[in-house]
Amino acid sequence: MNLLVGFIAFVSEYLDSALGMGYGTALAPILILLGYSPLAVVPAILISQFFTDIAACYCHHQACNVDLRLSGPDFKIAFLLGLLSAFGVVISVIVALKIPKWFLTFYIGCLVTSMGVLILTTSGKKFRFSWPKIAGIGLLAAFNKGISGGGYGPLLMGGQILSGVKTNNAVGITAFAEAMTCLAGFLTYLILGKTIDWGLTGLLLISAVPAVPFAALTVRQARTGKLKKSVAILMIILGLLTFLKIG
């Protein structure tokens, strides 16, 4: 079981660091399908992704996929998204701890399915930059992250593209903002007294981090349009399968 979970975490993080989406969105429903509780899955994903996102920021910056210098425009967008997302994720964690397990599973299934549809329907479209769009998407994406462990990357990537940010830049920006979001969400779970599955957390962390450098090279050298569509279809399938775990 550990080898399977580790392999899935590696692949999910590779997709996430290459496309700005896929780690929590794909990993959460898979872990639920494997029998893990949603309230064990979400904190483990949050803290493991905090570290992988830090690594992704460094690798993408070094590969010139994004400019995260303090004076750069990418940093300004990433920092704003991170602040808004940190606020949104705290609210969502409080909500997640108060709703029934079956409803949380149902929400994750709906979220993952809808994110797959969103990626497919926005593929190939170009839009003008807009700060209000970015701010609104950041809050909504953070709420999804805190309550389900996923849904942040697809929404934020799609939102940035809809707001006029280039795809390669959006990947690095998403990693930066998501790191802030994951840390805020995980700390909220701790403060509220949620028991953390440290075994699952450690397994996800050691399995996911090695995928980051490979993903950064992918963004620099490859076209990701076709891969995005494949991920979108996979998300739709996973979302639909998650409904089978409601009960």
Q: Is the model's pLDDT at 224 over the cut of 60?
A: no
Q: List the domain boundaries for the chain.
A: 2-245
pLDDT at site 7: 94
Of residues 244 and 42, more confidence is placed in: 42
The pLDDT of residue 51:
93
- How does the average pLDDT of the chain come out, rounded? 81
pLDDT tens per residue, range 86-106? 888 888 888 877 888 788 778
pLDDT digits (tens, 9 = 90+) for 181-190: 889 889 988 8
Does this model's pTM top 0.95? Answer: no
For residue 222, name the pLDDT band (cuts at 50, 70, 90): low
- Distance separating the N- and C-terminal Cα atoms of the chain: 23
Q: What is the DSSP string of 23-63?
A: HHHHHHHHHHHTT--HHHHHHHHHHHHHHHHHHHHHHHHHT
User: In the predicted model, is pLDDT for residue 200 greater than 90?
Assistant: yes
Sign of the dihedral through C-alpha 85, 233, 231, 169:
negative
pLDDT confidence of residue 236: 82
pLDDT at 232: 73
Return the CA Rg of the chain.
Answer: 16
Q: How confident is the model at residue 72 (pLDDT cuts 50, 70, 90)?
A: confident
Burial 173-201 (b: 16+ CB within 10 A, else e): bbbbbbbbbbbbbbbbbeeeebeebeebb
Tell me what the mean pLDDT of segment 38-50 comes to: 90
With a pLDDT cut of 70, the percent of the chain lying above it is 88
pLDDT of amino acid 28: 86
pLDDT at 49 over 70: yes
Give the mean pLDDT of 153-162: 71
* Greatest mean pLDDT range, 16-30, 118-132, 215-229: 16-30
Residue with more model confidence, 21 or 37: 37
**Is residue 41 pLDDT above 80, yes or no?**
yes
